[in-house]
Amino acid sequence: MTSKIGDWVDERSGWRKVYETIFLRKIPKINWLYTLGSATLFTMSLQIVTGILLTLYYVPEPTQAYASVDYITNDLTFGWLIRGLHHWGSSAMVLLVILHMVRVIAYGAYKYPREATWFSGVALLLLTFSFGFTGYLLPWDQRAYWATVVGTRIGEVTPFVGGSLKNLMLGGEEISGLTLTRFYGAHVWILPGILLLLVGVHMYLVVRNGITAVPKRNE
């Protein structure tokens, strides 16, 4: 019965070919450094799940943002765990993405025919930094405030577009409630949408072009 259902679905979707292409493809002999990409993907999934849970209680409003974070951390059942996983998961994701790219550079995996895979990976690295930057303001405490001041002033010195970039991020000349709203919107809506698109492109390219073998030492 199960086989007939699988055949019926396969005739209309071709899922078996997709499954074989992704999971049964031949790969060269590799080592543990090749798991950095999978570890990053797992951490990203954890960030998405914990982030969704946090949005159920977080209030992106200046007079309530800090109180809502305090409630999540100290009063909500397992709230401390969810916020802790999200907080430390962001640092872990940055570290894993960097290590993954170092491995790619060291093994020459950015060369033909994988240049597009490399470019999408660089975009994902920058996107990961953007997640960290926009999320840092959300607790709305002194550390978050002044870290954002420093970050936006760094953006302000960007040649030609610095002033406009700062105003776009802050929604004005100084950090305000509008800044918090913009950072929250970017963190939970704009950046995740771009992330899912880029991850899909990156994974497609990895499957299509394959992965490089471990470089051999010249004798």
The pLDDT of 142-156, averaged and rounded, is 94
pLDDT digits (tens, 9 = 90+) for 79-109: 999 999 999 999 999 999 999 999 999 999 9
- pLDDT tens, position by position, 191-218: 999 999 999 999 999 999 988 888 877 6
Task: Provide the residue type at 164 as one letter.
Answer: S
Q: What is the pLDDT of residue 218?
A: 64
Alpha-carbon distances of 210 from 113, 168, 213, 214, 216, rounded to whole Å: 9, 40, 10, 13, 18
SS3 category, 122 = helix
Amino acid at 67: A
- List Cα–Cα distances, 123 to 8, 99, 117, 129, in angstroms: 39, 15, 10, 10
Task: Tell me the C-alpha to C-alpha distance, in Å, between residue 17 and each of 13, 23, 35, 202, 211.
Answer: 9, 10, 25, 20, 20
* pLDDT tens track for 167-180: 999 998 899 999 99
The answer, yes or no, to whether residue 23 has pLDDT greater than 90, is: no
Q: What is the pLDDT at residue 24?
A: 80
pLDDT in tens, 114-125: 999 999 999 999
Model confidence at 21, pLDDT cuts 50, 70, 90, reads: confident
Q: Can you give the pLDDT at residue 11?
A: 87
| CA angle at 191 for the pair 160 and 179, rounded to the nearest 5° | 60
d(CA 59, CA 192): 19
State yes or no: pLDDT of 3 exceeds 70.
Answer: yes
* Mean pLDDT within 39-59: 97
Dihedral angle over CA of 114, 117, 121, 123, nearest 10: 120
The pLDDT, as a whole number, for residue 55 is 97
Domains and their CATH numbers in the chain: 30-209 (1.20.810.10)
pLDDT (mean) for 71-85: 97
**pLDDT mean across residues, the chain:** 93
Is the per-residue pLDDT at 146 higher than 90?
yes
* Cis peptide leading into residue 113 (ω within 30°): yes
pLDDT band at 28 (very low <50, low <70, confident <90, very high): confident
Residue with tokens 């493809």: 25
- The phi and psi torsions of 21 (rounded to 5 degrees) equal -65, -40
- How buried is 66 (Cβ within 10 angstroms: 0-12 exposed, 13-18 middle, 19+ buried)? middle
The pTM (predicted TM-score) of the whole model is 0.91
Whether the predicted pLDDT of 54 surpasses 70: yes
- Tell me how crowded residue 15 is: count the other CB atoms within 10 A of its CB: 12
Sign of torsion over alpha carbons 172, 175, 181, 182 = positive
